[in-house]
Amino acid sequence: MSTEPTRRGERRRAGLRRFALTLAGVLGALAVLAGAGGAASLAQGPRVSEVQVDPASAIEVSGSRVILTVNQALAEIDPAQVSVSPAAPFTVDAAGRSVGVRFTVPLDDDTDYTVRIDGARAVGGGPERTLETTFRAPPAEVMLLQRDPEGDDTIFRSTLDGENAVPVYSAPVIEDFRATSTRLVVATAEDGISALQVMNRDGSGVAPIELPGEGIVQGLQVSHRGDLVGYTYSDPSGAPNASVLFTSQLRDPSAMPTPIEVGGEAVSVDQWRFVPDSSALLLVDFDGELILTDPQSDADPTLLGGAVTIDAIARGSYTAIVERVGSGIGQLDLTTGEESALVEPDRDLGQLGRVTPVPEGAEGRAGTIRQFQRMDEAGHPAAQVLAHVAEDGTTRPLFEAESQDALLQACVSPSGRYVAALVAPDIVNNPYDVGGLPMPRTLQTHIVEVDSGEEVSVLAGFDISWCTTGPW
C-alpha cells in the first residue's frame, strides 16, 4: 500500500499548526502593541484632537461656542480651570471627550483669542495636561443704507475703513433694514405701501415676507435667537389695525404673521424691543404702560408700570434702560422687576439724552454710552456729546457734534468695542428726503473705538447694521 497520501496529510496538518502558531504570535504581538499604545496614551494624558469654532459668527451674536474634542474621556472640568484671553465672559459645558466654551456676549473683531483648560485629566486617571486652542476673529464688516433721490436706494457692505464697499441690495425706495448673522431683512415701499423681503447677507435668495395686508410697516427689528422679524403694522385707513405689533418667521416667510396679544387682544404699541437671547418682547402701549410678554410662554404678560421710552436692553444681562415719568432714565431688571438708578457721571456734560448699555465683554469696558446736550452760557445748544460712563462713574467723552450738526443716533457694536455716531451735518441746510422714514439727504456715520476714544472712520450712509432699531 502506498504511504504518499498519508505523508501529504501529515505535512498539511503540520503546516496548519505552524500557521496557527504564527497567527497566534502575530495577534499576541498586536495585543501587546495595542496595550502599550493605550498605556502610552494614558501615560501622556489627554490631547486635543479636534476644535470646532465659527469666528465670523462669534463677533456677530452672543452664544457662539468653541468645542474642544480630546482623545480620551475627561474627568469633571471645573469652570475655574478654563480661561479665555483676552478676557471675555463665558460658560462651560463638558461631557465625555468634549469641552464646550460658550461666549455670553459677542467677541471683538480682528483679535486673536486663546481658550485654555488647565489641569485636564482622563476619567481613568493619569497625568494632568493643559488643553489649548487659539483662533482669530475676523475684521468686522458693516452694512449701511444710502438713499439716492435720483435713483435706487442701496444697502452696501463695507469694512470699517470704508474700503471696497460692495452693493448688496437695491430698490427704488428702501425704508429700513436689519441684519442677523445669516440674513438680511429689508423694508421697501411703493406708492406708500410697505413690503418686506428676507435674503442672504450677500443679497441672494430674495423672498417676500407675508404681511397682514396692504399697509405701512415701521419699527423693524430682528431676533437673532428666535429667527424672527418684528414690526408695527398700520392699515392706511387707520382701522382695524393701527401700529399693531406683529412677528414673522424668517425660516418660513410665506407663513401668516403673528399678532402680539395682551389680554387676548392684539396690542398697538408706541415703542418695543426684542429681549436679547430670549423669545420675549418689551413694549410700551399707547396708554404708556410698560409690558413684558413672551408669545412662546403660557404666562400672562407682566405689567411694569408707566414708561415714556425704552432706550435699549443690554445683551447678556436682561437689563432694560427705560424712562419713567417723574423719575427719568433708569435701569430695570426684567428678571426680577427691580429698578436702580444710573450711576452718576463724574463730570457734567449737559442734559442727558439716550442711554445705550455696553455689553460686559472686555475688561473695563462695561458701562453705558450716553448722549448729552451741552449748552453755552446763554442757554443755547452748543454741542452734542457721546460719552462712555463706566460702572464706577468714570466718564470719557468719545465724540462731539457741533451745534450746526445733528446727532441722530448712537449704536454700539455687538461686542461693545465701537460706537457708531450718526450725524446730519449742517442740519439747517440739509433737506430731508420723503418716505415713511424721512432722513436728511447728507448723512455720516462716525465709527469710534470705545477703549481709546479714537475715530476709526467716517462712512457715508445711515442705519448701520449694529443698530437694533432705526434712527430716532
The cell for 109 is 473683531
Collapse the DSSP code of 58 into the 3-class scheme (helix H, G, I; strand E, B; otherwise coil) and give the result.
helix
Residue found by looking up cell 404702560 in the block: 289
Taking only the tens of pLDDT, the chain with its 472 residues reads: 444 545 545 555 555 555 555 545 544 544 444 444 444 445 578 999 999 999 999 999 888 999 999 999 999 999 999 999 999 999 999 999 999 999 988 999 999 999 999 999 999 889 999 999 999 999 999 999 999 989 999 999 999 998 889 999 999 999 999 998 889 999 999 998 999 999 999 999 999 999 999 999 999 999 877 689 999 999 887 666 789 999 999 999 999 999 999 988 999 999 999 998 788 999 999 999 999 999 888 889 999 999 999 999 988 778 999 999 888 999 999 999 999 999 999 999 999 999 999 987 666 688 999 999 999 888 888 999 999 999 999 999 999 999 999 999 999 999 999 999 999 999 999 999 877 789 999 999 999 999 999 999 999 999 999 999 998 7
Rounded Cα distance between 50 and 121, Å, is: 17
Residues in contact with 273: Cβ distance below 8 Å, sequence separation at least 6, in sequence order: 221, 281, 282, 283, 310, 312, 313, 320, 468, 469
The cell for 157 is 457692505
Rounded Cα distance between 105 and 318, Å, is: 12
Q: Are 75 and 121 in contact (CB under 8 A)?
A: yes
Q: Are 77 and 48 in contact (CB under 8 A)?
A: no
Burial class (CB in 10 A: 0-12, 13-18, 19+), 137: buried
**What pLDDT does 2 receive?**
45
CATH number of 48-137: 2.60.40.1220
Rounded Cα distance between 101 and 50, Å, is: 14
- HSE at residue 290, side-chain half, CA atoms within 13 A, is 18
- Taking the alpha carbons of 249, 65, 410, 306 in that order, is the dihedral positive or negative? positive
**DSSP code string of 303-322:** EEEE-SEEEEE-TTT-EEEE
Collapse the DSSP code of 191 into the 3-class scheme (helix H, G, I; strand E, B; otherwise coil) and give the result.
coil
**What pLDDT does 381 receive?**
87
The cell for 300 is 400672562
Strand partners, 459: 445
Rounded Cα distance between 379 and 254, Å, is: 54
Distance of CA 165 to the CA centre of its chain: 22
Cα torsion for 422, 284, 244, 470, to the nearest 10°? 10
pTM of the model: 0.87
> What is the residue extent of each domain of the chain?
48-137, 273-341, 358-472
